[in-house]
């Protein structure tokens, strides 16, 4: 169990990641973005695995799924 000094889900119940760039090809991908926990935001770089790219019915932008 982590102490509230490390992860205090009562005081900071949400975590949000917003990507700013995706680079890579084949089996080597990197996603950069801003990670916000509570009111603190930090830039992070994640080495990720591409799960797939899909188009939604009716057109529009394609969406990619990644796992860090």
Which class for 2: exposed (0-12), middle (13-18), buried (19 or more C-beta within 10 A)? exposed
pLDDT at 4 over 90: no
pLDDT band at 12 (very low <50, low <70, confident <90, very high): confident
Q: Is 11:3 a contact under the CB 8 Å cutoff?
A: no
pTM: predicted TM-score of the whole model, two decimal places:
0.73
Res. 21: pLDDT tops 70: yes
CA-to-CA separations, 36 to 12, 19, 51, 65, in angstroms, rounded: 10, 11, 24, 20
The H-or-E segment that residue 28 falls in is: strand 28-37
């Amino acid at each position: 169990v982590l102490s509230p000094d490390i992860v205090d889900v009562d005081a900071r119940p949400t975590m949000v990641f917003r990507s700013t760039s995706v680079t890579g090809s084949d089996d080597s991908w990197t996603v950069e973005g801003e990670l916000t926990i509570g009111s603190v935001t930090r830039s992070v770089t994640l080495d990720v695995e591409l799960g797939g790219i899909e188009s939604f019915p009716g057109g529009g932008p394609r969406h990619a799924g990644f796992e860090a």
